[in-house]
Structures are given as C-alpha cells and as structure tokens.
Amino acid sequence: MNTKIPKIILASKSPRRQELLRLMDVYYEVVLKEVDESYPEHLSPEEVAVYIAEKKAKAYDAKSGDEIVLTADTIVAIDGLILGKPENEAHAIEMLQRLSGRVHKVVTGVCILYKHEYNLFHDVSEVFFRTLSEEEIKTYVSKYKPYDKAGAYGIQEWVGITAIKRIEGSYTNVVGLPTEKVYQQLLRLAR
C-alpha cells in the first residue's frame, strides 16, 4: 500500500471500480451522492466522459480538504453515437446488435478532486467485437442483465470473455477505470 497517497473518497457504486482500487492497494471509502448525468449534446464522447466525471466531483467539493475525491464516468461510442447504460432489455439488445462485428471506443473520464483542485483526464480504448448471433445477444442480456454497464456489456463477463477479439489500449479502462493513469495522478498529488 502506498501510504503517501491520502485517503480516497470513491464516488462510485461500481463494484468493478472498487475492485480495481483494491487491486491498486490504496485506501478508499465509498461515499455516494445522486448526480444528474445529463450533458450538452454538442460534446464529443471524450468531452462527455470528462464533463460527467467533473459534474460528479462538484457534488463533493466542499468536502475535499485533505481527502481525495475520485469520480469517473465510462461511455461506449460507435459511429459518433454515445451508448450509455441501457434502459431495458430491448435497449440492451439493440446496443449489442450495433456493437456486434464492429470496433467501438470505450472512454473513461476521470476527475481527481484534491484541495479544491480538479484534475481532469480521460483514456480511450478500442474494442474489437466478433459477430454475435441474435441468440447469443438475447441469452447474454437475459442472464447477465447488463443494465448498469455502458454499451450493455461487461468485459469481465461472458461477452468480454467470448466475443472480444482484441483491445487496443487499457483493459482496466474498459472495465471502468484507467488504473495506470489514475495511479500516476495520485502519486503526483501525494508529493
């Protein structure tokens, strides 16, 4: 554990982000606040992810004295279209049909708030999907119910294990937190 890094307030209910922080061996506590995740329509996928991460951090600014507040937002984008979390089963199926046999971007925007300073950055990974059958898509959605995942899939679940041909970029970014970039920023702030 890096004892130079101050305690982190993780503003995320994502079990995947929590597990990644555990694996990074940093001390954190989950503190949740409801935040409106809407964004201006003219923003690029990279700008949207950072915009929402910063918006989440602003809800914690008054509390950010000696603790670090870490917020993140992950989106999937294809053909300039942002695929957030699916609203229901039909929406999840539609998203996976769109991704099937294609390449898409996974963008995670991160905000590290420390001593009222917003440290904003993002990471982008390209994910190459094989073609999925209708039956595979419907079975995956029915079994895994990926309604809390951008693009309607989790890389650590069946689709990620069986359908992703390759990734260009950070694997942990696709999971939901670009850990290498996050860790480097945390070390920089701890100096």
Please say if 61 is a catalytic residue: no
CA angle 57, 63, 69 (to 5 degrees): 40
User: How far apart, in whole angstroms, are the C-alpha atoms of residue 154 and residue 43?
Assistant: 25
**What tokens does 73 get?**
């937002």
Beta bridge partners of 103: 128
Q: Are 93 and 141 in contact (CB under 8 A)?
A: yes
Q: For residue 166, give both structure tokens.
A: 């390759």
Catalytic residue among 36, 61, 66, 73: 73
| ∠ CA 172-177-178, rounded to 5° | 65
Give the burial string for 53-70 (b: 16+ CB within 10 Å, else e).
Answer: bbbbbebbeeebeebbbb
Residue 59's region, left for phi above 0, alpha for psi from -120 to 50, else beta, is alpha
| Residues with active-site annotation | 73
